[in-house]
Amino acid sequence: MILQASTIVFIGSHLSIPGKQKNHETGQEEDKPPLETMDRKDVMKFPFYGSAALFGLYCLFKFQKELANLLLGLYFTGLGVLALAGLIASLLQPFFRGKFWSKVHQFNIPMVDQVSVTVLEVLCICLCGGVGYIYYTTHHWCTNNLFGISFSIRGIEMLSLGSFVNGAILLSGLFVYDVFWVFGTDVMVTVAKSFQAPIKLVFPRDWSAPVGQQFSMLGLGDIVIPGLFIALLLRWDIARAVKQGKTITEGCKVFFYTNFIAYILGLVMTVVFMIWFKAAQPALLYLVPACLGAALLTAMVTGQLSDLLAYKEESPEKKEEEDSKKKE
C-alpha cells in the first residue's frame, strides 16, 4: 500500500511539470496543456462540498444501495476506462510516431462537446474497455486498483492548487473533514465499504486466502490531495532553479524530496495506528501535519519561508488576460 501510493505521488508530481511535448503528427515541439488551477474560493469550499457529497452517498446507500452501486458503478467504470486509456496512450505515444497513429479525428457528441481523439487513443480505449468489463462483472481488486491508480496520477498531473497558501488551507480543511467523518460518525467507513467503485485502493491482508479475503483500503483522496501539494512544491523547486539560471535536472529538489519522505512516513504512521487500534484511521490526520510541517520546517531552515508563502501559480485565464493587456 505504501509503495503503491508513494509511487503514484512521485509519478504524478513529475508529470505535472510544465514544459514541452512533441506533436507526433507535425513533428514540432508544443507547450503541454496548462494545469487546471484552483483559486482561494475553490479550496475553501472543497471540504463543504466533499461533506455534502459524502453524506448524500451515505443516505443513498442506506435506502437504495443496489441501485446506487449499479448507476455509480457504471459511471465510474466509464471514467476509469477513459483515465486508464489516457494514461496508457501518453506512455505509448513515443513508440507510435507515425501519422496514422497520431492523426487527430474530431467528433461532435450531442449534449457533450466536440471530442478530439487519435487512433492510438481509440485503440487504448478499446483495450481498456475490456478491463472495464472485467472490473464491472467481477469487482476484482486488481482492476479496481488499475483504475484508482489512473485516476490518481491524472488528477495530480492535471490539477494545480494555485499557491502554497491555497494548499495549506485545503489540507487543513480536509484534515478536519477526515477526522470528523471517521472518528465522529460512521459515515466515511460505511460509504467506503458500501461503495463498489474505484475510488479507493484495496490490498489483501492475507494473500494466501483463496476465498473470503479481507482488504485494507486507502482512499484516493489520501493520495491525490497530498500529491497535489507535493507536486506544487516540486514545481516551486523548479521555479527557483530556473530563476537561478539552472536546468530542471540541475536544480535542487529539496522541498519535493523532504515532503515526499514526510508523506511516506505519514502513511507508515497511518498503517501502524490502524494495526495498533484495529480500527479505520483517517489518513489525513497523519499526512497533513507531516506534509505541512515538513514544508514549513524546510523553508525556515533554508531561509525561504517568505518566498514559499508568496509562491503562486497563475491560472491559464489570468495569463491570457495579462498577455492581452500587455499587447494593448
Q: Which of 39, 113, 178, 307 is catalytic?
A: 178
Q: Which of 39, 186, 222, 323 is catalytic?
A: 222
User: At a CB cut-off of 8 Å and minimum separation 6, what does 81 contact?
Assistant: 125, 128, 129, 131, 132, 147
Let me know if 222 is a catalytic residue.
yes
In DSSP terms, 234 is beta-bridged to: none
Let me know if 237 is a catalytic residue.
no
> Is the separation of the CB atoms in 117 and 105 below 8 Å?
yes
> Cell numbers of 211, please?
476465498
Q: For residue 216, is it left (φ>0), alpha (ψ between -120 and 50) or beta?
A: beta
- What residue has cell string 514559499? 308
**Alpha carbon distances (Å) from 197 to 75, 146, 154, 181, 277:** 9, 12, 17, 19, 27
The sign of the dihedral angle between the CA atoms of 193, 45, 179, 2 is positive
CA–CA distance, 148 with 79 (Å, rounded to integer): 10
**Alpha carbon distances (Å) from 138 to 73, 85, 200, 207:** 12, 20, 16, 18
Give the pairing of strands 20-22 and 29-31: antiparallel
Taking alpha carbons only, the member of 307, 262, 45, 5 closest to residue 174 is 45
Catalytically annotated residues: 178, 222
